[in-house]
Amino acid sequence: MIEMKIENDIKFDFSDVLLRPKRSTLSSRSDVSVIREFKFKHSGRTWSGVPVISSNMDTVSSVEMFKALARNRMLTCFHKYINIKDVINVCNSNENECYTSDYFILSTGITDTDFENLKKQVSILSENNIELKFICIDVANGYMFKLIDFCKRIRELLPSVTLIAGNVVSREITEELVINGKIDIIKVGIGSGAVCTTRLQTGVGMPQLSAVMECADAAHGLDAAIVSDGGICHPGDLGKAYGGGADFVMLGSMLAGHTECPGEILEENGEKYKLFYGMSSDTAMNKYHGGVASYRSSEGKTVKVQYKGDVQGTINNVLGGVRSTCTYIGASRIKDINKCATFIRVNRQVNTFYK
C-alpha cells in the first residue's frame, strides 16, 4: 500500500486571518514611517524607500508607472520585454531626481536568449551612464535546477547588483537560492495572483500568508529578504504580508486599470475599462511568442479592469491602510509590523450584508 503524503497543519491566505489590535503610543497615522532601509547580503548595496514593488506584468509596469511609483520612492519591476531606451529617456530627462535606477528592476527569464538580452540591456544602460542596481530572475516554477545555475551566472556577471529570484513557496528552496544562488531577495508566491490560473491548471501552490511566513523565516535566518508576490486584494493585506515577515510586497491587480498602465481605455455601455492579463495567459503568449506552445497550456487569464484614473489615489489608499495598520498594532514603522503582529484565525473576515 502506498503511503499518502499529506501535511495536516492548516495553511493560511490573507483572508483567513485578522491582526489583533494592541495598545499603541501612536496618536496619528502621520507618526508612522513607511520608509525602510536595507543592506543586501550578496550585492552589499543599501537601499532606502517604501517596500512596495509593481509586478513585472506588461499591463502594469510601464515607464509611466515607474515615474509615478518613483515619486513615492517605490520600486517598479519592469517585464522582460520593456523597451530599455524608454527607461533611459526617463532617467536622463532630469525631470525628477527620483527617476533613477534606485527605483526600477529589470526582469529576465532563464534561457540563454534571456541571458544575452539582459547583457545587452545592461550594456545599453552603462553606455548611457545608468548603473543597474536590481535584477529579477523570474520563472513561474522556481524549483527547477536551472534557476539556481542561472542565478550563479548572473551573480558572476554582475556581483554588485541586487538579485531577486523566484517564485517559490517553501523553506528548502529559499535557503538554496540564498546560499547557492547568491540571491538577495526571494520572490514568494505560486498561484495566488488575481489573473493566475496555476492552481486550477496544475493543482500546485500554497496559501500566500503561510508561504510568506515559511520563506521569511528561512531567508531572515540567512540575512536575506523576501518579497510577497500575489494575493493582495485590499490595503489591509499589505499589513498582513509585512506581519507575516515579508520585507517587500509586490502589487499587480491593485495597480492595474490606471492611467499609467499600458493599453487603451475600452468603453462598454458607458463604462471604461483596461485589459489586465497574466504573463502566462493566452494573450501574453500570443503577443510575445506567437501562441501557446504545444507542450504547455495557459496558466493565466485576461480580464477587463474598471478604469481607475491616476494611480496616485491608489498609492495614497494603500499607504494610508498600512499606516493605519501600524497605529492599531503599535508599530511606529513598517519594519516593526512583523514584531508587533499577532494573527487571529477567523471564519469570516468582513460583514457582507451590503455588498
Phi, psi of 248 (to 5 degrees): -125, 155
Sign of CA dihedral 171, 216, 209, 76: negative
**Count of beta carbons in the 10 Å neighbourhood of residue 227:** 26
Closest CA to 32 of 229, 242, 213: 242
Find out whether 274 and 263 touch, Cβ atoms under 8 Å.
yes
**Which residue in 88, 157, 90, 161 sits closest to 125, CA to CA?**
88
Q: State the catalytic residue, choosing from 77, 136, 196, 215.
A: 196
Residue 330 contacts residue 340 (beta carbons within 8 Å)? yes
Q: What is the DSSP letter of 262?
A: S
151 catalytic, yes or no? no
CB proximity list for 313: less than 8 A, separation 6 or greater:
none
- Residue indicated by cell numbers 540567512: 222
| Cα–Cα nearest to 41, from 160, 189, 215, 170 | 160
* Catalytic center residues: 196
